[in-house]
Amino acid sequence: MSAFGKCEGGGRRSASRSSAPLMAVFTTLTGSQSAILADVSSTGARLRGAGLPKMGEELMLSIETVQAFGMVVWSENGECGIAFEVPLPREDEETLRQRVSLVRGLPPDIQAAFDNWVVGRSR
């Protein structure tokens, strides 16, 4: 993986991340698609799913009411890292963190069913 979530000098994250099994929609020049938001910080996000954009592609990411422009900085094994063009505003980051807290309260079988539905493995 490349520099997603890292800063120079030791590979320490510059922004804290939240584990986030939420649905995200990404829009590229070729269309829109949903994916699972695996984690998020103020500076980027990690998506999981099928048909993800390739490294170097620019996109708009929509999660709940939050939208951010970014670029894919790595892509492998059904996941990709997005670096946001500008960091998320504090209010947007807080909105996502609150949503993450709610989703974490779901039982594992419901979270797994949601993940499968988002990536198209079940209906």
User: Quick check: is 40 in a domain?
Assistant: yes
| Burial (0-12, 13-18, 19+ Cβ within 10 Å), 22 | buried
CATH assignment of the domain containing 110: 2.40.10.220
The mean pLDDT value of the chain amounts to 79
User: Quick check: is 36 in a domain?
Assistant: yes
User: Quick check: is 6 in a domain?
Assistant: no
User: Quick check: is 60 in a domain?
Assistant: yes
Does residue 60 register a pLDDT over 90? yes
Q: Report the domain count for the chain.
A: 1
**What's the pLDDT score for residue 15?**
56
Q: How many CB atoms lie within 10 A of CB 17?
A: 17
User: Quick check: is 94 in a domain?
Assistant: yes
User: Quick check: is 96 in a domain?
Assistant: yes
Task: Give alpha helix (H) positions in 10-89.
Answer: none
Kindly report, residue by residue over 70-119, the tens digit of the pLDDT.
999 999 999 999 999 999 998 998 888 777 667 666 666 666 676 566 55
Query: Which pTM was predicted?
Result: 0.68
User: Quick check: is 85 in a domain?
Assistant: yes
Segments forming the whole domain that contains residue 107: 19-116
**What's the pLDDT score for residue 117?**
63
User: Quick check: is 83 in a domain?
Assistant: yes
Task: Give alpha helix (H) positions in the chain.
Answer: 90-104, 108-118
Residue 5 is inside which H or E element, if any? none
Query: For 97-101, which contacts have Cβ atoms below 8 Å and span 24 or more sequence positions?
Result: 97/18, 99/20, 99/22, 99/64, 100/18, 100/19, 100/20, 100/22, 100/40
